[in-house]
Every structure is written in C-alpha cells, then in structure tokens.
Structure 1
Amino acid sequence: MSGRDTVPGAPLLYLYRLKPGAGPEYDHAHEAVWPQMLALIDEAGIEDYRIWRHEEIVVCRLRMRQGFEATAAMLAASDIQQRWTASLAHLFEQIATESGEPLWLDEVFRFKARADS
C-alpha cells in the first residue's frame, strides 16, 4: 500500500500517463465501463470518481466513504478490478513510480472566497 491515506470524503488525486495516441481508446473504454466494475466501485465505498484527460495525461479524483487504504485493498482483492486493469494495461505508459506509488497530485495552492464576500 501507499502509506497515503485520506479521511472519509476527502479528495485524492493522481494521474496516469498514456502511450502516445492511446487517448481515444481510453475514452472509448470509459464510455462503456462494465456494470460489474461500476458495482464494485460503489461497493468499495467510492462516492465520487472523476477522470479527465488531456492528450496522454489522465487525472483521476476520488472521494471515498472510507480512507484510500481500505478502498484500495478491497479493489485489489477483486477479480473484476484485475480484469478491468488488464484490459487497459496496453494503453498505459506509466501508472506508478518505480517503487509502486501512485502518481499522486499534491495540492500546491488553494484560494477559497470568504463566505461574506
């Protein structure tokens, strides 16, 4: 596991790098996510999962009912997750660091308007 956990409901962001030209196929796969995969995402406690893509860069944002570690463990134990990941593996250039850590996105700036503005 990563050692990077979250409190319930806190957002967690990471990225993937696709192989050159793999974007359209990646998009197409996500237009038809398997119903079993969608059920697993819900069962694992993911309450909000968003993916954005710019060329070969994919950004993912999750909010989970449990922390990341518990959610990731449940997904990793699933045959459905393993098959989904294997079906897309040929599209990825990089999904983790050399040590296996996800490619985390760390917040470096935030502006939040005051409530009385």
Structure 2
Amino acid sequence: MTSRAFRMKLKPGTVEEYRRRHDELWPDLARALRDAGIYDYSIFLDEETLHLFAVLKLWPDNKIAELPQKEVMKRWWDYMADLMEVEPGNRPREWPLEQMFHFA
C-alpha cells in the first residue's frame, strides 16, 4: 500500500458546487480511479483558505501515472476547471504534501 497526498485550491464561492459535483461522481470516472489502483480517496477542505487536501491510498501495482491520458479524466478536469485553480489543459494545480507523521 502506498499513500499520496497533495493540495489543490478552490476559487471563491465554489465550495457547494464542488461538493455537489463530487457527490454525483461519474461512474466511468470512479471505475477509472479504481482501475488505476486507487482504493481509498479523500478530499478535505480548509474553509478559511479554500485549500483542498487530498489523500490517496494506492495498491502497489497501481497505474496512477496513466490517469492523465484517460479521456474520462480529461473530461472531468474540463468540468471542474471553473471551480478551481488549474494548469494548462485544465488539470488541477497540485502541490505535493510530504508525510510528516503516520499512526497505524
């Protein structure tokens, strides 16, 4: 098992729409995430800064590097681009987070 964490950033006034869109996650996107080896994925919000903190748990033989090439992933990024800071191509800007502590 591997974990990965990163930060993203919402635009002001988009919190509820971001939540709504994720509550209605597309089945084909959920399948692509699972097929890539993600078995647990959480996103947390800091309401004061609008930073999102994502934590992924991955199987050892994951194919997460292939996700950006998937059409469903590109469609999702386009769908979400009006709500958050993005890179060219609408991929969300991500800032990797270093694990400082883990208790199991």
Q: Alignment RMSD, CA only?
A: 2.0
Unaligned runs of 5+ in 2: 87-91
1:13 aligns with 2:5: yes
1:87 corresponding residue in structure 2? 79
Calculate percent identity across the aligned residue pairs: 27
Secondary structure of 1:27 counterpart: helix
2:89 corresponding residue in structure 1? none
With over 3 angstroms needed to count, the CA separation of the structure-2 counterparts of 1:21 and 1:50, relative to structure 1, is same
1:61 corresponding residue in structure 2? 55
Runs in 1 of length 4+ with deviation above 2 angstroms?
Answer: 93-96, 110-113
1:71 corresponding residue in structure 2? 64
Give 1:66 deviation, angstroms: 3.6
* One-letter amino acid of the structure 2 residue matched with residue 78 of structure 1: K
The residue correspondences of 1:30-45 to structure 2 (distance < 5 A) are 30-45=22-37
Give 1:12 deviation, angstroms: 0.9
Secondary structure of 1:12 counterpart: strand
TM-score w.r.t. length of structure 2: 0.81
| CA distance in structure 2 between the partners assigned to 1:111 and 1:71 by the alignment | 22
* One-letter amino acid of the structure 2 residue matched with residue 71 of structure 1: I
TM-score w.r.t. length of structure 1: 0.73
* One-letter amino acid of the structure 1 residue matched with residue 64 of structure 2: T
Give 1:53 deviation, angstroms: 1.2
